[in-house]
Amino acid sequence: MKNRYLKNVSTLKLKTDKCTGCGKCIEVCPHNVFVLNDGKTHIVDKDRCMECGACVKNCPFNAIEVKPGVGCAYAIIMGWLTGTEPSCDCSDNSSGGCC
Amino acid sequence: MDISSREIKIIQTSTQLTFSDIVGAWKARWGINRMNYKVEPGLYSVGSPASNSPVMVTANYKMSFDMLRKELIGLDAWILVLDTKGINVWCAAGKGTFGTKELLNRIAIVQLEKVVSHRTVIVPQLGAPGISAHEVLKYSGFKVLYGPVKAKDIKEFINSGMKASTEMRTVRFNTYDRLVLTPVELVSTFKVSLIIFGILFLLNLIGVGPFGLIDFYAYMGAVIVGCVLTPVLLPWIPGRAFAWKGWLVGFIWAVIVNVFNGWPEAPQYSLLRALGYLLILPSVSAFFAMNFTGSSTFTSFSGVLKEMRIAVPAIIISIFLGIVLILVNSFIKL
């Protein structure tokens, strides 16, 4: 069985005009969101994107945009409670199973 | 005169995990000493590597380091351990501690260019959210090669000429992957559970109650549904939002609790209390299932935010109403 998450939520954007088809994004994407076709990258399944930001960080041509963030409810709750950006910093106390 | 004759420090390590390494990993899975399970950052050697041996980069979470080195049996290689404050590669990459800057620093600190003759480092693919390969190349001259997601594929990766297949590049989240993450979820609920039991005990003392065995196992069951059962059964439970999946299984659990106590033929307790359970128990499961998003490998920030905007108010209202019903029920009986 495949794990699938919510549809139409990812903030992933690809600027095809800047893409040179180097394929770096395809290499780093852990969920096979991209394919190379006719010398350019295309998004095949945006709903697989988990917004980790690996593609953005490794695109030498700034052709990809995503609002990177942690897909972690505990981090978001802590962000709401402390009024800060949600981050993986639950490490200081031992709650939460995430990082 | 050589002015940069800093000593090159290399720590020899083994591909064999000792008994205490295995116990340490087991403890970390149960949340014992998990946040302080570290190795010293720096350059390590396995086997007897030469200047042309590959360099593999990892985090200084001891479980990450151990998982990598145990896969290197029979290889001569270098391991470059970054200082990620004891956090695993993927999470540290998300935070940026497993990042371009730390990699550049660590390459400079261990004087990697003097140890190896080539200019390539193998970074685990899940480190990519923190690393800009083209920037590492620009500032250090080292080319970043992204290796497989899992350390167990590293030998195949090297043997196939540093090529990772699509299979090796895809992150999975199979039943076993989910199962090993559940103990720490469960352990993290102990504190809040003790507080709840404390409150119920106090309510008993002041005569609002009685709360007893049924409440105890009903609640514990809801916790186990949210922290263990829902994560393990994740892909088979209908729907997509984690909170929804937890609610659904929790609802089944609440019905089981009520049926087990004689509903509807010979109820052991009133309708108010039965309804209270139906409101509280699924919400408790939904909350803990929702928290499992942080352990999963495929949830996005935007997605979790979207589900929380609905789930969190719904959980709060539902639990509040359930508590009101059960308290009203207790007062009626007084």
pLDDT in tens, B139-164: 999 999 999 999 999 999 999 999 88
Residues of chain A found within 8 Å of residue B188, distances taken between Cβ atoms: 94-97
Instruction: Give residue A1's pLDDT band: very low, low, confident or very high (50, 70, 90).
Output: low
Same domain, B138 and B225: no
More confident residue, B6 or B13: B13
The Cα B295–Cα B232 span in angstroms is: 12
| A14 has pLDDT over 90 | yes
Averaged over B99-112, what is the pLDDT?
Answer: 96
| Interchain CB contact of B36 with A (< 8 Å) | no
Q: Are residue B24 and residue B167 in the same domain, yes or no?
A: yes
> B181 vs A71: CB contact, 8 Å cut-off?
no
| pLDDT (mean) for B113-134 | 95
Q: Among B171, B199, B219, which residue terminates a domain?
A: B171
A64 three-class SS:
strand
Higher pLDDT, B168 or B334: B168
Residues of A in contact with B304 (CB under 8 A): 71-73, 76
Name the helix (H) or strand (E) containing A77.
Answer: helix A73-82
B19 and B158 in a single domain? The answer is: yes
Q: Do B162 and B270 fall into the same domain?
A: no
Residue A15's pLDDT is 94
Go through B250-280 and write b for each residue having 16 or more CB atoms within 10 A of its CB, e for each that does not: bbebbbebbeebebeeeeebbebbbbbbbbb
Q: Are residues B209 and B303 in the same domain?
A: yes
CB B138 within 8 A of CB B103: no
Q: For B280-306, what is each residue's pLDDT tens digit?
A: 999 999 999 999 998 899 999 999 999
Q: What per-residue confidence (pLDDT) applies to B2?
A: 56
B299 contacts chain A (CB < 8 A): yes
| Residue range of the domain that includes B152 | 10-171
The answer to whether residues B216 and B248 touch, using CB atoms and an 8 Å cutoff, is no
pLDDT at B15 over 80: yes
Q: Torsion-angle region of residue B273: left (phi > 0), alpha (psi -120 to 50) or beta?
A: alpha
Q: Do B303 and A48 touch (CB under 8 A)?
A: no
C-alpha to C-alpha distance for B298 and B313, rounded to whole angstroms:
24
Judgement on whether residues B127 and B244 belong to the same structural domain of the protein? no
φ, ψ for residue B298, nearest 5 deg = -140, 10
Whole-Å CA distances, B36 to B1, B32, B64, B87, B276: 43, 9, 13, 9, 41
Q: Decide which of B171, B193, B211 is a domain's last residue.
A: B171
Whether the CB of B138 is below 8 Å from some CB of chain A: the reply is no
Across A48-77, average pLDDT: 92
Contacts of A90 in chain B (CB under 8 A): 294
In this structure, the answer to whether residues B223 and B238 fall within a common structural domain is yes
Q: Average pLDDT for residues B269-290, to the nearest whole number?
A: 94
pLDDT(B250) > 60: yes
In terms of domains, do B39 and B164 share one? yes
Percent of chain B with pLDDT over 90: 72
Within chain B, where are the H helices?
A: 19-29, 62-69, 89-95, 100-109, 112-115, 133-140, 154-159, 166-169, 175-179, 182-187, 190-205, 213-224, 230-233, 242-260, 271-291, 301-333
Residue B99 and residue B182 in one domain: no
- The number of folded domains in chain B is 2
Which tokens is B233 given?
A: 């059964």
pTM of the model: 0.87
Q: What is the pLDDT of residue A62?
A: 94
Position B112 pLDDT exceeds 70: yes
Of A68, A85, A64, A63, nearest in space to A76 by CA: A85
Cβ–Cβ below 8 Å for A72 and B293: yes
Across the interface, whether the CB atoms of A52 and B173 are under 8 A apart is answered no
Q: Using CB atoms, which residue from A3, A27, A69 is nearest to B234?
A: A3
Residues 6+ apart with CB under 8 A from A81: none
- Calculate how close chain A gets to B175, using CA atoms only, in Å: 10
Q: What is the mean pLDDT of chain B?
A: 92
Whether a cis peptide bond, with omega within 30° of 0, leads into B235 is: no
What would the pLDDT profile of B231-240 be if each residue is shown by its tens digit?
999 999 999 9
CB of B153 less than 8 A from some CB of A:
no
Residue A96's pLDDT band, with cuts at 50, 70 and 90, is very low
Mean pLDDT of B69-84: 95
More confident residue, B45 or B212: B45
Label residue B269 by pLDDT band (50, 70, 90).
confident
**What does the alpha-carbon distance between residue B149 and residue B168 come to, in Å, rounded to a whole number?**
6
Element (H, E) at A78: helix A73-82
Identify the pLDDT of residue B35: 85
Best residue of B171, B300, B310 to probe chain A, by most A CBs closer than 10 Å? B300
Q: Are residues B165 and B189 in the same domain?
A: no
* Banded model confidence at residue B32, pLDDT cuts 50, 70, 90: confident
User: Is pLDDT at A91 greater than 70 in this prediction?
Assistant: no
- CATH no. for residue B156? 3.40.50.11600
Contact B284, A51 (CB under 8 A): no
Query: Which of B87, B153, B144 is CA-nearest to residue B120?
Result: B144
High-pLDDT (> 70) share of chain B, %: 98
Say whether the peptide bond before residue B264 is cis (omega within 30 degrees of 0). Answer: yes
pLDDT at residue B214 greater than cutoff 50: yes
Residue A93 has pLDDT above 50, yes or no: no
C-alpha distance from residue B228 to each of A15, B37, B182, B192, B245 (Å): 41, 24, 5, 17, 12
**Of the candidates B42, B37, B32, B199, the residue with the CA atom closest to the CA atom of residue B110:** B42
Kindly report the three-state secondary structure assignment for every residue of B140-198. HCCEEEECCCCHHHHHHHHHCCCCCCHHHHCCCCCHHHHHCCHHHHHHCCHHHHHHHHH
Is the distance from CB of B84 to CB of B60 less than 8 angstroms? Answer: yes
- Residue ending a domain, choose from B151, B171, B191: B171
Domain A13-65 classification at class level: alpha beta
Q: Which of these, B40, B201, B50, lies nearest to B118 by C-alpha position?
A: B50
Instruction: Tell me: pLDDT of A61 over 60.
Output: yes
The whole-angstrom separation of Cα B270 and Cα B218 is: 16
Residue A95: per-residue pLDDT: 44
At B4, is the pLDDT very low, low, confident or very high (cuts 50, 70, 90)? low
Residues of chain A with CATH 3.30.70.20: 13-65
Best to test chain B binding among A1, A2, A4, A6 (most B CBs inside 10 Å) = A6
pLDDT in tens, B194-209: 998 888 888 888 877 6
Q: Does B300 touch chain A (CB under 8 A)?
A: yes
Residue of chain B minimizing CA distance to A48: B298
Q: Based on the domain organization, do B153 and B187 belong to the same domain?
A: no
Contacts of B74 (CB under 8 A, 6+ apart): B15, B47
